[in-house]
Structure 1
Amino acid sequence: MSVQIRKRGRPRGRAGGPNAEDSGGIRALDRALDILDLIAVSSGLTLTEIAQRLGMAPSTVHRVLVTLAARGVAESDSQTQAWHVGPTAFRHGSAFMRRSGLVERARPLLRRLMEQTGETANLGILNGDAVLFLSQAETHETIRAFFPPGTRSALHASGIGKALLAHAPPADLKRMIAGMALERFTPTTLTDPQALVQDLVRIRARGYALDNEERTPGMRCIAAPIFDLGGEAAAGISVSGPSLRMSDARLASMSQAVIEAARALSFGMAPDPAPRDGT
């Protein structure tokens, strides 16, 4: 799953036309969408960085960002001055997911997976250099993993993230790893690019990814990719929980349950919920 960023891809007016509106576009809106596209696939960019990457005047970028922020589409980190997509952008994206049906199709499977394993089941997609969690079926255990919709997690320290990386086209994978900070969160986080690639090879071979306390001490995650009609890993499904419950002894059965759920969702072929008694 990839996103292309256009550099100053605004439509030119017709020959002799005074502005972009001549070709049916609105120049200010086009600029705003270029900026939104860029920050959506980044881990945070300053105003200066955005202006440089898009070849726009800083004053123009500032006006656009202030407008987007006022509507909740973009927001700035007060400490780093970096800009990110805002909650309104997620709400807009959620409307697309409802239309595409992935979240709705996944809902019964997430609950079934949670009941099978006793752990929280999650659905996520690639969002720039992170995983964006879309839906969750939360376990009733007191100690549990919690990734509410809209949460983002680093690709290299996430079960779903590594499952998606393992099935990315080689050229995309090389580019993505080169641009990742590979931040260390715990002693087991994979921060060496070569070690990460080796783990991705193992993931691809066995069909599932394991986050072995790589993001949070004492927590494990098992994930598998969901493939679209083009055969690309478009999303991922996982179960997460305490390492004491997700022990090595349970790894085989839990990973098989995750793989089967991912297969059921791939190509949009999630099974229909079981009919109710008497229907």
Structure 2
Amino acid sequence: MVTYDVEQLEGKVRGAFFKGIASSRTGVLVLGGSSGRVDTGRAGLFSHAGAHTLALQWFGGTNQSPGICEVPLETFIDAVDFLISRGCERIVLVGTSKGAEAALLASTIDPRINVVVAVSPSSVVWGNIGAGVDGIAWPERSSWSLDHTPLVFVPADLSWQKEYRNGLVSYRSFFEKCLANDPQTNSRARIQVEKSTADLVLVAGGDDALWPSYDFARKIVQSRRAHGRSTRLIFDKNAGHRVLFPGETTPRSVLHAHGGTDEADALLGQEAWRAIATML
């Protein structure tokens, strides 16, 4: 296995590239969540399974938005281009949380994406987390843009009162409250997953304390089913937002609650990995 600093290879793409077995034609793009972590650990897991793998830095880098604010979806299309330029013919996107939101959106506009594994996903577009390229975080804007046009998003409800679990803020009720407002806008913010030609694998825990990922996953399944597209949902009622694939020890955030338990998160991750491994 060979690791390259992608910034030395492609000006448009930043992160870490892991070269799998030479005969592999599968390319995996790994997208972390709102922590901004370039998930080299998870990328290494896919590389050891034989795939060429790119752990992408999609915000917070040079000439990138410092936060998740109007991040161009073209960022992910450029990464697909990169994998294809390395001989990859089968493209798999693996995204967690906000990274799953990005992966699902990218698959609706790029038919070259064959599989999306969305871990703790969202079924709608949300507002920004942090500042945009202009250094400004407020007023609220979309997390994403396409062709320099911001995507419609579910607006924040500023009347929400914080809730806590184990001394940490649980944001789940915030997202639920936002979704209960302005049905017309929220409908327009829906990720149009029926447009995705990719096979979708959704991984969600019923005890997610960050946002209601299982409810989101079920909505995605319903939208796909209504258009004759199948989707696999892998679920554990006791798991939280942080799903652990085999061997992973990703730490919990000290800023907000994840829900779940280490044991349940790992069990869900093991079940998900069995399904993913068959695709690889």
The TM-score with structure 1 as length reference comes to: 0.31
- Structure (1/2) with the larger strand percentage: 2
The TM-score with structure 2 as length reference comes to: 0.31
* Greater C-alpha radius of gyration: 1
- Structure (1/2) with the larger helix percentage: 1
